[in-house]
Amino acid sequence: MPTMTDFDVTAVRARFPSLAREVAGRPIVYLDGPGGTQVPGWCLDGIRDYLTTHNTNTHGAFPTSIESDALVAEAHAAAADFLGGTADEVAFGANATTITFAMSRAIGRTLRAGDEIVVTRLDHDCNVAPWLALQDDCGVVVRWVDVRTDDCTLDDDSLAAALGPRTRLVAVGLASNAVGTINPVRRIADAAHAVGAHVWVDAVHAAPHLPIDVAALGADFLVCSPYKFFGPHMGLLWGRRSLLEALPVYKVRPADDTLPSRLETGTQAHEAQAGLLGTFRYLEWLGVEQGGAAGEPGTREGRRARLQAAMSAIRGYERSLTSPLIDGLSAIPGLEIHGITDRTRFDERCPTVAFTLEGHHPREVSRALGERAICTWDGDYYAYELIRALGLAESGGMVRVGLAHYNTTDEIDALVEAVSEIAAG
């Protein structure tokens, strides 16, 4: 695993044009990645090239349409290589929330009153609200997994109590977008499968930080959002083929009923798929340059190997940034980090760190950081239940610092210095 010293972050940053931006003479520091990351130049090139050269709709008998069909097929194949599935098991959509609502409605058609769905209090509401809606739609019973507020991890006893013979689906996040906790999804999936339930994984926050392998996770469905992992604004779904084929999805009558088309309603953002191919090209470059991947060029296996190597390199580098970030923030008087701070447990978190600062409203802190060109989020970021469990809903939530692999130790130092100044008033 690459460490801080052998990961060439300068070479990485050179691939991201937006990182060169300055605000009022200061270099901008992007610590807002959990709300959307920056994109490499190849992503921009893909979008521009599509709209200038190939722009049209699919399934026509003329050159640009034939090219668009090829591009769409390639984007599905590459996304499948990123997640570990096959191309027909992958579908695109507007974003993860829209996909989850659409799929939950289709899944709801297969459920009966009294069937149970398990959700967690650590998840983004994208993986809660769609399942809660099924209570009214079809009489489903929702069971909750609680969160341990001392370290912001899921409560095992609560999970065990929530599962039962009527459980049909367990909806769980791979990583918390608020506090960075990585959930033991494989263990949860095994427990869910043992009672005959399917597992819906929200990997939106995990995707920019971890290699994903849907089979190793034991997922039945998984969603993520390319705009959170260095790509364009769009959503991405993977599902097990047998389940996707059987699902009574909502669709217009003459639409193609084969996978993945049966899951994709209306016209997709082809330019975004072209941009996403550029993002995968960047990640393959990273996998070779910094992850030591070889993999045969032009093969699906080769691309999968390079993408996995890239994500492992990212994981290793980000892991090495976690200590300076947490140590630096923890030393500030009045600052409290919510989530895992024990350095022997950093494998259980990604470098997304949320804190409160005594005597300072989170919006005030984030605004003061913004004035120094340091971009952070404040509030609840739709981690609706967690913020309430922590008792922070009435006081503005938390300030969230989200590192990505293009961030540096200098940027962490700048952040810590700025928060120290704000704390000192």
Ligand X SMILES: Cc1ncc(COP(=O)(O)O)c(C=O)c1O
List interacting residues with ligand X (CB under 6 A): 34, 95-97, 124, 126, 173, 177, 202, 204-205, 225, 235
CB of 34 to ligand X, least distance (A): 6
CB of 253 to ligand X, least distance (A): 28
Give the tokens for residue 176. Answer: 């918390």
Cβ at position 176, least distance to ligand X in Å: 7
Token duo for residue 347: 């494998």
Q: Please, which residue, 291 or 379, has the CB nearer to ligand X?
A: 379
CB of 196: closest distance to ligand X in angstroms? 26
Structure-token pair, residue 242: 């047998």
Q: How far is CA 16 from CA 198, 202, 231, 302, 405, in A?
A: 39, 27, 11, 24, 11
Cα(100)–Cα(92) distance, integer angstroms: 12
422 by Cβ neighbours in 10 Å (0-12 / 13-18 / 19+) ranks as buried
CB nearer ligand X, residue 105 or residue 300? 105
Least distance CB 304 / ligand X (angstroms)? 23
Give the shortest CB-173-to-ligand X separation in angstroms.
5
Do 117 and 140 contact (CB within 8 A), yes or no?
yes
Closer to ligand X by Cβ: residue 68 or 352 = 352
Nearer to ligand X, 102 or 422 (CB): 102
Locate 214 and state its tokens.
Answer: 């849907």
Minimum distance from residue 205 beta carbon to ligand X (Å): 4
Give 203 or 259: the residue with its C-beta nearer to ligand X: 203
| Distances 239 to 117, 151, 202, 279, 382 between C-alpha atoms, Å | 18, 31, 12, 22, 24
Q: What are the DSSP calls for 143-205, one per residue?
A: EEE-EETTTTEE-HHHHHHH--TTEEEEEEESB-TTT-BBP-HHHHHHHHHHTT-EEEEE-TT
Closer of 173 and 211 to ligand X (Cβ): 173
Q: Which is nearer to ligand X, 13 or 233 (CB)?
A: 233
H or E stretch at 378: strand 377-379
